[in-house]
Structure 1
Amino acid sequence: MTPTPKIVFLDASSLSDLPAFDRLNEVGDFTSYDLTEPSEVPERAADAQVIITNKLEITAEVIEQLPELKLICVSATGTNNVDHKAAEKRNIPVRNVAGYSTDSVAQLTLTAYFTVAMDLLHLNELVYNGAYSKARDFTMWRHPFHELPGKRFGIIGLGAIGQRVAELAACYGAEVVYHSISGSDHDVPYRRVDLEELLTTSDVVSIHCALSDDTRHLIGYAELERMKSTAYLINMARGGIVVEADLARAIDAREIAGAAVDTFSTEPLPDDHPYLGVKQREHLLLTPHVAWASVEARTRLIDGVIENIKAGW
């Protein structure tokens, strides 16, 4: 009979509010902490056979201090927070969960675009602050807005999330084109274009590629200058794909109409981040890395972690 593993979730704060979270008790002797400092890992996971981490780094030093460790589960898609060489040296599998947040990220992508492009936060405030009540006309707006049908929606990275965004944009009547970082064609009804054409002709540029040596700082000031002055940039992928200081500068210079960003190079956002110094704030919508976090997506994530524990134990 296989012994019940001791499982420690080191940084469970983003999942522990869900009813599904309690199911982790069914697969082992389970303990969770909302947050764990790196110095606390050796004590908290001292005799754990399975550890679960979301963002907390599992370094070679940490792995060396956990003699009972047999499995590392990452409650995310990326596993760059784990030292894979150190895990391989001990024959410890590292399991992630892929595809759980596709619909959630795609949903916020379109929502964020419409919010910034239609100036919705400002219009909402006009009603609440009494400006609309004092208006002489029945309607009011600050910036004209356009319909998405007939506009070109350019997607950088056509993986699962990129394809779902493409489907939603196409449902609105947009012309979807995409740029493949690898240069590969996908079996999709959308045209592949080079980055230059995508940037210069798209009304919306939406980023959905992974962060890698090929994509780090892919979009800097030169690329933003090549976009239409009426175009919007949406980044729901990784902050490092965009040169953040350059985007802040381009927003204030009105090189593009606006942007919506959900991910940042450093998270949480530092007080001195360039985005927070933008003068034209109505043209830059910022959300706190929340695109992945619908209730359904987080529930699928827990289910995936449970399956990884069952398969790896």
Structure 2
Amino acid sequence: MQNRKIVLLDTLTFGETDLSCFDELGSVDAYKTTSADETQKRITEAEIIVTNKVVITAKHMQEAKKLKLICVAATGTNNVDLQAAQELGIVVKNVAGYSTDSVIQHTFSMLFYLIGHARYYDEVVKSGTYSKSAIFTDVSHPFFEIKGKKWGIIGLGEIGRGVANIAKCFGSELCYYSTSGVNRNEDFQRVTLDELLTTCDIISIHAPLNEKTKNLLDYEQLLTCKEGAVVLNLGRGGIVNEKAVAKLVDEKNILFALDVFEKEPLPQESPLLHVAHTERLYMTPHIAWTSVEAREKLINSVCENIKSSL
């Protein structure tokens, strides 16, 4: 078994997660990152590839004569040419459900950061401004309770349902829009996208990126959101038009939280990095999936995928 060559192409995406389970399955070459120019050379002798985001093309597979298995350390497999893999008899396995709880938690983390004005209140204390206050409190930046507020979910899959159930515990009124058009859930009210956008105080996105969801929320759609509404995108970049977000942040009192972007890392020239009302925009670098537990579960699942294929 130790002669079986396993190549890990982008271990930096796993952080400090223990990768020793791979050593039990074969001879491992591990690379922190792999550029497009480096991919072919690194996988030429591999029987098994583990990739998170490194793209594996038909040409890569054709020239990697020993390749039998591609393990995608993620749910999405859009970085692998699946048709070519099938034609060449190469098995492709992904991992689903490993980050559900992590994404749900980060959804609420982003919401509370925004509506609680966490950046302002943290700085007002640390800067010494609060120490000079004439009163014991600071009510200059009011926050609202999510109890009784209407929360709309776009994409009621496993993550969307998890968010809905927790929001319900807080006392929010729930509704959802099915991006596929076929989703049915008797626990929550199904509405049109227009109704969701115009009536909800909080909107969270947990949908995949596909032909139906690409630019689903563009400028005209987002403009219909209520004054003071909060829009959270933890689905995929590209579902919400980033130029529209950057424009609206400075035109209307709508709060946006984005953990995913159309191009990652976010380009320095992105309009999102040049808005005036930064207090209305909270962005994190695609970290919702990265809890310690989620990454451990991911790596263990990839190793199990390899074991089941041997």
Q: Specify the TM-score bucket, using the shorter chain as the normaliser.
A: over 0.9
**1:4–1:27 CA contact under 8 A, matched in 2:** no
Of 87, 90, 113, the residue aligned with 1:89 is 87
| Structure 2 match to 1:220 | 218
Query: More displaced, 71-80 or 60-69?
Result: 60-69
CA displacement at 1:5 relative to structure 2: 2.3
Matches within 5 A, 1:7-18: 7-18=6-17
The one-letter code of the counterpart of 1:111 is S
> Secondary structure, in 3 states, of the residue corresponding to 1:297?
helix
CA displacement at 1:277 relative to structure 2: 0.8
| Structure 2 match to 1:312 | 309
Structure 2, unmatched stretches of 5+, are none
CA displacement at 1:143 relative to structure 2: 2.3
**2:176–2:191 CA contact under 8 A, matched in 1:** yes
Residues 175-202 of structure 1: per-residue CA shift (max 9 Å, x gap): 1111101222434411111111111110
Q: Rate the CA distance shift 1:306–1:79 in 2: closer, same or farther, 3 A.
A: same
| Structure 2 match to 1:292 | 289
The one-letter code of the counterpart of 1:304 is S
Matches within 5 A, 1:168-187: 168-187=166-185
Q: CA RMSD in A?
A: 1.3
Are residues 1:251 and 2:277 paired?
A: no
**2:150–2:172 CA contact under 8 A, matched in 1:** yes
In 1, Cα distance between the equivalents of 2:246 and 2:186?
Answer: 34
Matches within 5 A, 1:1-313: 5-19=4-18, 21-254=19-252, 256-313=253-310
> Secondary structure, in 3 states, of the residue corresponding to 1:239?
coil
**1:51–1:73 CA contact under 8 A, matched in 2:** yes
> Secondary structure, in 3 states, of the residue corresponding to 1:267?
coil
TM-score, structure 1 as length reference: 0.96
Residues 240-273 of structure 1: per-residue CA shift (max 9 Å, x gap): 001100011111101x431110000111111110
Moved over 4 A (4+): none
Structure 1, unmatched stretches of 5+, are none
CA displacement at 1:237 relative to structure 2: 0.9
Residues 176-234 of structure 1: per-residue CA shift (max 9 Å, x gap): 11110122243441111111111111000100000001100000111111110121000
CA displacement at 1:4 relative to structure 2: 5.0
Q: Rate the CA distance shift 1:223–1:249 in 2: closer, same or farther, 3 A.
A: same
In 2, Cα distance between the equivalents of 1:60 and 1:185?
Answer: 34
In 1, Cα distance between the equivalents of 2:221 and 2:290?
Answer: 30
CA displacement at 1:88 relative to structure 2: 1.2
**2:248–2:254 CA contact under 8 A, matched in 1:** no
**1:217–1:243 CA contact under 8 A, matched in 2:** yes
**2:52–2:74 CA contact under 8 A, matched in 1:** yes
In 2, Cα distance between the equivalents of 1:16 and 1:229?
Answer: 39
TM-score, structure 2 as length reference: 0.97
In 2, Cα distance between the equivalents of 1:275 and 1:300?
Answer: 33
The one-letter code of the counterpart of 1:17 is E
Q: How many residues get paired?
A: 310
> Secondary structure, in 3 states, of the residue corresponding to 2:256?
strand
CA displacement at 1:141 relative to structure 2: 3.9
